[in-house]
Amino acid sequence: MSDPLIVKLIEIVNDEIRVFNQLLEVLQQEQRALCEDDLPAIEACLAAKQAGAEEGRRLETERLQVVEQLSRRLAMEPQNCTLSRLVEVVEGWQGEELARMRETMTELNTRIRATNESNAFLIRQSMRYTERCLDILSGQPGNRGVYGQFGRARRGAGLRTLVNRTA
């Protein structure tokens, strides 16, 4: 027999999986845009990520409400009524579906984190490159170390130039 609250929870989690997939897609598009230095595409990705985050928050609120109702029905503490715990308690095809969805969400979360970390690395590298170019072009000393005699790192002294005058 189908429990309407479990069916509702499955629908919500399916929607969350859809949003996670869309977010992963946007992060991958953002990665390409970062590599191609495509500012309009980066801005479009930012807007899409923001919309996805808002949709995710809305779905999470809805899911938490359903889980709270389920916890009362199953005589469980709301904070202990997690998807993992529901997989153990719910029987039949609904329990199997929740288990499959949990696995999918865990995998998507791992992929999203890895892609997001990669994008953050690309952004940091781009910022360092831009700062370095500005330092060189403006002749301003940077606060980063430069290699000196015998390969030891030392703080840059004086103005930076395009030519190493110490050699």
Q: Which amino acid is it at 134?
A: L
* 9-23, 53-67, 130-144: least confident range: 130-144
Please determine, looking at this structure, whether the domain spanning 4-127 carries the CATH number 3.50.50.60: no
Of all residues in the chain, the percent with pLDDT exceeding 90 is 49
What confidence tier does 56 reach under pLDDT thresholds 50, 70, 90? very high
Query: For the chain, how far is it from start to end, CA to CA, in angstroms?
Result: 82
* Mean pLDDT within 46-66: 94
Locate the domains of the chain by residue range. Answer: 4-127
Strand ranges (E), 56-121 = none
Q: How far apart are CA 140 and CA 158, in angstroms?
A: 8
Scan for tokens 């609904």, then name that residue.
Answer: 94
